[in-house]
A and B are shown apart, each in its own frame.
Chain A
Amino acid sequence: MIHKLLKQMGLALALCLALPGCGNENLMTAVDGSEGPLVIYPDYKEVTIPANIAPLNFRYSMKGIRKARTTFILGERAVTFKGTEVVWRVGAWKSFLADAAGKTIQVQAEALLDGKKVSDSWSVHVSEDPVDGWLTYRLIEPSYQMWNEVSIMERCVENFDETAICDYRHTDNACMNCHVHGQSRGDYSLYYIRGPHGGAILNKDGQLRKLTLNAPGMLSGTVYGDLHPSGRFGVFSTNIILPSFHTVAGKRMEVYDSASDLTVADFDNNVMINLPHVARGDKFETFPCFSADGNSIFYCVADSLLLPDQVMDIRYDLLQARFDADSGRIGEQVDTVWSGSAHNASVCHPKASPDGRWLLFSVADYGTFPLFHTETTLYLTDLSNGETRPLDEIKGDKSDSYHSWSSNSRWFVFASKRGDGSYGKPYFCHLDSDGRTTKPFVLPQKSPRFYIYNLKSFNVPDLGNASTGMTVKDASRMFKAPSEAFVQAE
């Protein structure tokens, strides 16, 4: 027995060290790969990409595939890869795409599939619109209730560089919430560190402040929010959040608010501006965001119901209210941008495009947490004419939830659980001036197998036009620093 075990160990280590992948290659099957005779994962067939994106590395994910040969053709140039994994060097990819903006790459592939020769071809359109180069997200297991060893990362989407902005090692394993940019600016952003030494970390022009965005009378500290273009204000929701379970398998979790209000933080005067008309006891107000010009806010509101019993009846509408950038007050007059209740649906996460033209939001059947709602669809409102349409053409088989805009308003990124249903991944989508979208593609990774082994969700992917410049040392410093108190406005 001992001899057998030792032999097995030795053999296993030798195999592990000697072979480039000593498991059964044929075990691998597509999880949510492409269509066509040759299935690739990630699916980069017939996608539109920005010229500044990192290499689209992929693999052929079918059983029994051998001797693959993939050729990328752009004008006179052609680059060929042999093998079932197509992995570009960043430099070679950048050279290949150097003058590709506005052009289409043709990809021709052939391989032996169960001994038979199979050919395939597809195209990749390179948009003339670049995407913002920086993406922040929180890496966490898809469990709402708990956290352990969480990090907020910043990824350069032009290559594969990824650094931590804040991580558990520097914050006593505190929970941290997602980082959001103000108007997609790298030098203007906010994230939270939770717990006794926590606070909201505001990055303004590279200067960091730790703020306690709470005041007597508020339901809680601030939760969801957005930053005003002026740099002076932030608009936030305060929520009592309760996680729960669905009994139907596959529906997984439901998270609801037993109460929620809106509030405004004045960063210049350390004041919380709480107004009764956006903190009504009979309403749940949440997910506020500023319009591009900062003169109004969009937010979601629902009638308060008895929860969780009536959670499947709760429908949030999308409203717009004036915002006075001098006083920081939200106006009492509201307009309904899109009525969730009229459509028997519920709105979450509105986000205005930086050019002021579009408003993107998630629509689920009910509730305020679409992360596990497979029916969740992104909707787009053209603010110039008020027309709203579901982006059915980009919807995945699982939830498409949190989203953010590139600063040129031509790209947006959204978290989607398409495929495995559990792990959110950032997908990029192009939007032209007429509001037409293209097939989304997942954030490229150096290894085409990355998502196969990844057991964390990319939570709240948020685009920035520059690096935040923040590091874990800053997080550590801020964690130890005292937090600035905020008081209730008179």
Chain B
Amino acid sequence: MKGIISRIGLIATALAFFGAWGFFLFAYPYHLTRREQFTLFLFDWESIRQTYRGFGWLGSFLSDFLEQFFRFPLAASLIVALLLTGIGVTVYRICRHFLGKGASLTVATLFFAWSFMRETGNLYLTRYTLVMLGYLLLVLLALRFRKVWAKALSAVLLLGLGAWALGSPYHQSYGKLWGTPRLNYERVIALDLETARENWDKVLQLSKKDLYMVEASYCYNLAHVMKGDLGQMLFNHSQADVTSFLLPVDTENSLFTNTLAGEAWFQVGDMTIAEQSAITSLQASPKHTGARYIQRLARVNLISGETAAAQKYLNMLGKSLFYRKWALGMMPGNQDEATRAQLAAAHANLARKDIVHHSNYPRQVLLNLLEVNPDNNPARIYLLCFDLMNYDLDSFMEDYSRRMLDGHIYKEAILIWLSQNNAVTEQNLAKYGIDKNTQDRMGRFFRNPDLYRSTYWYYYMDALYRANEQP
């Protein structure tokens, strides 16, 4: 019987380990990777001394140290699986001082399951799992004493020491008592991460299921803008309105949305909002730091020509394990030709005319960017689509005439505008490159609009109907 339970224990340990590892590696890979973005562990004593002090310094230090490896899903899932399994094994060994093997195994399994569920919580930090394991190990250590008074005394001393070094295993926001896996949230986190990595194909693939959400629609639009084909794909899903083009950075938004908002502004060349997005993300992040945000701040300031500010951030990243190489390569004076060219190209996009705005009505900002660099395609695509989504065909025609881009959506809008202005002439059709096929499609659209839901005609007509229905 003892042998069977031992074997069950071993199997349970293996199952726990591989189960947790597999879950976080295959079903929940971005969940842990995101934590790395909240973390910036610097290999510098002064930074360590400045950051890790007061109650819980060791818990923060060790967890930040471990979380820097969460950049790699394999390492992240391994570390978390080891910590969770460690908790299960430690609880089992503690229980064995008081209970039989079967009961101990049951308690350990429950404890493991509880810790596992906590780990799946949104915004949870591994610190609290690590701290829990730390306390359990201290209890186990105290139980090694034979005499009861020695056990009690050592437990008090060790737990006191633990409280000082490890801090609390609970936090109201980042170390909650319970969590549940949310696979849809995992997809949204994935979208955010892949958007930051500029993996546009992956973004499109990930956004498919959640396009009803503004954030997913925003990522989808951004990916198509960067691929240059939003004029083709704009109505391949039901666009809510212009809010899913360029998100404002706003107090009402979550950390997640404000971080995401910076991505599109960065790509169109508005470094002010991109910087503000990164700073508000730093501010709202659990540790008031984060490799992703510091890296973005470094890039923004390099592009803006704010060298001293860029150096501050690069100096920090230069002390990290995984961003050091990048930081060294970006440091003014160390940049290679490709980096200099990339920064120069981004610098060429910067607005020269100053406008004060609230980031919630981007048309003027986009026009301002295009005035400096008419080749700024992301800005141009956003501008055209912004006009279309606002049903502002006059502005669209004005903006489109400055530089014509490919995309059936644009042609459909032009046809509406030409019709409204009694200007459907051979000359105009040729001018705007509208072929016979598009004209025929428009004719077919009016016969059966539902077959043409991905056209601008449908979007426009739908608005007309809704306007007519209103009293």
Contact = CB atoms under 8 A, between A and B. Distances in A.
Interface in B343-374: 350-359, 365, 368-369
A247 B353 contact: yes
Contacts of A246: 272, 354-356
A5 B77 CA distance: 12
Highest count of chain B CB atoms <10 Å: which of A28, A250, A251: A250
A309 B312 CA distance: 34
Chain B interface mostly: helix
A8 B74 CA distance: 14
Contacts of B355: 246-247
B50 A247 contact: no
Interface stretch (A45-53, A141-149, A474-482): A141-149
A341 to B, nearest CB: 19
A447 B50 contact: yes
A422 B276 CA distance: 11
B72 A5 contact: yes
B335 interface: no
Interface residues of B, number: 66
B45 interface: yes
A205 interface: no
Given A250-B304, A420-B312, A450-B50, A143 B356 contact: no
B354 A247 contact: yes
B427 to A, nearest CB: 38
A244 interface: yes
Contacts of A249: 271-272, 300, 303-306, 350-351
A12 B69 CA distance: 11
A72 to B, nearest CB: 22
A246 B350 CA distance: 12
Nearest to B352: A248
A8 B350 CA distance: 40
A31 B328 contact: no
Interface in B139-170: none
Contacts of B357: 244-245, 247, 308
Contacts of B289: 455
A27 B315 contact: yes
A250 B275 CA distance: 10
Contacts of A141: 279-280, 282-283, 288
Interface string B255-294: 0000000000000001111011001101110001100000
A149 B172 CA distance: 13
Interface stretch (B84-92, B99-107, B317-325): B317-325
A23 interface: yes
B80 interface: no
A79 interface: no
Interface stretch (A13-21, A116-124, A221-229): A13-21
Given A31-B311, A252-B272, A146 B42 contact: no
Given A247-B270, A247-B365, A22 B359 contact: no
A435 interface: no
B201 interface: no
Interface string A239-260: 0001011111111111010000
The SS class assigned to the A binding surface is loop
Interface string A152-189: 00000000000000000000000000000000000000
A34 B364 CA distance: 42
A130 B44 CA distance: 35
Contact of B308 (A145, A244, A419): A419
Nearest to B47: A453
B251 interface: yes
B249 interface: yes
Given A24-B328, A146-B251, A245 B42 contact: no
B188 interface: no
B75 interface: yes
A148 B283 contact: yes
Interface in B33-68: 42-51, 65-66
Contact of B354 (A15, A20, A248): A248
Given A5-B74, A244-B358, A455-B282, A23 B42 contact: yes
B123 interface: no
Contacts of A22: 43-44
A24 B324 contact: yes
B345 to A, nearest CB: 14
Contacts of A244: 356-358
B309 interface: yes
A29 interface: yes
A137 B134 CA distance: 37
Contact of B331 (A5, A27, A31, A420): A27
B358 to A, nearest CB: 5
Contact of B249 (A32, A145, A447): A145
Interface in A315-344: none
B393 interface: no
Given A145-B249, A245-B276, A249-B271, A31 B42 contact: no
Most B CB contacts (10 A, CB to CB) among A8, A142, A453 go to A453
Given A8-B69, A143-B279, 14 more contacts: A1-B74, A5-B78, A13-B65, A22-B43, A23-B43, A23-B318, A29-B331, A141-B280, A141-B283, A245-B357, A247-B353, A248-B351, A248-B352, A420-B308
The 3 closest A-B pairs by CB, nearest first: A23-B319, A249-B304, A27-B318
20 contacts: A5-B72, A5-B75, A8-B321, A9-B75, A27-B331, A28-B318, A140-B283, A145-B250, A146-B283, A247-B270, A247-B355, A248-B272, A249-B271, A249-B300, A251-B272, A253-B272, A422-B279, A422-B312, A452-B315, A453-B44
